Structures are given as structure tokens and as C-alpha cells.
Amino acid sequence: MIFGEFVPRKCLLRFKIQYLEKNMFTVKKIISLSVFLSFFLFGIAQEKHSLFNGKNLDGWTIHGTEKWYVDKGELVCESGPDKQYGYFSTNKNYKNFFLTVTFKQEANGNSGVFFRSSIDGVKIKGWQVEVAPKDKHTGGVYESYGRGWLIQPKPEDEKYLKTEGWNTMEIKVVNDEVTTWLNGHMMINLKDETIGKGEGFIALQIHDGGGIKVRWKDLIIQELP
């Protein structure tokens, strides 16, 4: 009985080894394919591209009667005769991303960069990274038609805004976390559950009141997983 039981077990073990050897190549192919797809998808997620082509307003939608136009390869927003709010939104929605924008305030620079937003007429809902005159909280986050200011930069960080010349702002939005930098200096870091649930486009703003003119260039976005 012992010899009779041993033979089938030995044969079964040999069969398993042979089966594994025959299928090892297939297993390796599956693993290699999975690794390749992971790197491929990661590469897509990390690719940078420009939101503004420097020639026209393709890829964007104007909301309101304020002025949005291209001049010398730069995007210009300027108050119109109605002196109302105006918005310039991407035709595509963005969830998680790293966005770089460069701006220059030629006149009153009360503007902003909205993210995960939606709009009805010129009533926009979402979150704004502030772009404003000095000591008016550039880089802070404001919730439109909601809770208002969620976070403002520290008073000592207001000095990083250049009132003359170009400023570079970086905005990172991942799930429920928002971080902003102005000219290389971190302005705010915020984690907020409501932001984490948000969906929508990116938009630039002209504040109401008239007298506003801001130039924009190098709007580069990097979508993140």
C-alpha cells in the first residue's frame, strides 16, 4: 500500500513541475506586459502640454462680455464697457493636475485661476486660486458661492508678488489637497474634503468693477493620476 500510494504522488509532482515549466514563458509575458502598461499609463499621466497655443482662443470658452484676446503671443484679459465678471474656461475638465501659469498685471490685477469649476452665465461655482494686487492674498484659495476664503497666504508671504513684470504661479491639485507656489515660494497647502469631490474645468477670471488688465502666457498643465 505504501509503494502504491507513493507512485501516484510522485507522478503528480512531476506533472506539476512540467506544467509550470511549460507555462512559465506565458507567465513571464503577462508580467512583462503588465509592467509595460503601467509605465505607459504613467507616461500618459505625466505628459505636459500647453493650454494656450499663443495664436488664438481654441480650446477655451468665453463667458460674459469682458475682453479676451491674443496680443504678441500672449493671452490678455481686459475689462469691457459692462465692467462685469468675465470668465475664460477650458473646454476640457481636469481633476488632478500640476498647472503653471505666468501672468503680468498691467492695470488692476484682480483676477484668478479657477479649478474643478462649473458655470451658469457668469455665475461660477468652484475654487479660485487668487491673482490680485499686492497684499490681496495672491495664491490663496477662495470658494465661489460657498464658504468664501478657505485659506490665505501668510502676511509675510505677500511680498513674493511682483507688482511689475512677470509672475509665475504653480498650482497642484491632487484629490483633496491643493498647494500653490508664487515665484518659487510655497503660498498655501490645503486639504479639504469638499474640494476632493469636485469636478470641472479650469478658468481664468476678470473681476467686476472695471479697470482690469492682465497678461497671461506659458499655461502648461501636467495631468496627474
> pLDDT digit string (tens) for 157-208?
999 999 999 999 999 999 999 999 999 999 999 999 999 999 999 999 999 9
Residue 193 Cα distances to 176, 196, 198, 224, angstroms? 6, 5, 9, 19
Q: Are residues 183 and 215 in the same domain?
A: yes
pLDDT computed for residue 14 by the predictor: 66
With a cut of 90, say whether residue 26 has pLDDT above it: no
Overall average pLDDT of the 47-62 stretch: 97
Question: What's the domain range around 148?
Answer: 49-223
Claim to verify: residue 119 and residue 78 sit in the same structural domain: yes
Q: Are 97 and 165 contained in the same domain?
A: yes
- Statement to judge: residues 120 and 163 lie in one domain: yes
The grid coordinates of residue 91 equal 473646454
56 and 14 within one domain: no
Tell me: do 108 and 146 sit in the same domain: yes
10 and 96 share one domain: no
User: In total, how many domains does the chain have?
Assistant: 2
- On average, the pLDDT of the chain sits at 88
- pLDDT tens per residue, range 77-100: 999 999 999 999 999 999 999 999
Environment class of 133 (CB within 10 Å of its CB; exposed 0-12, middle 13-18, buried 19+): middle
Give yes or no: residues 3 and 70 share one domain.
no
Say whether both 16 and 122 belong to one domain: no
Confidence at residue 197, expressed as pLDDT on a 0 to 100 scale: 98
CATH of the domain at 155: 2.60.120.560
d(CA 154, CA 152): 6
The residue that leads in pLDDT, 99 or 10, is 99
Q: For residues 111 and 88, is the Cβ–Cβ distance under 8 A?
A: no
Instruction: Read off the pLDDT of residues 34-52 as tens digits, 9 standing for 90 and up.
Output: 544 554 455 555 799 999 9
Residue 61 shares a structural domain with residue 38: no
Residue 82 CB contacts under 8 Å (≥ 6 apart), including other chains? 64, 65, 66
Answer yes or no: are the C-beta atoms of 107 and 213 closer than 8 Å. yes
- Same domain, residue pair 61 and 2: no
> Is 153 found in the same domain as 77?
yes
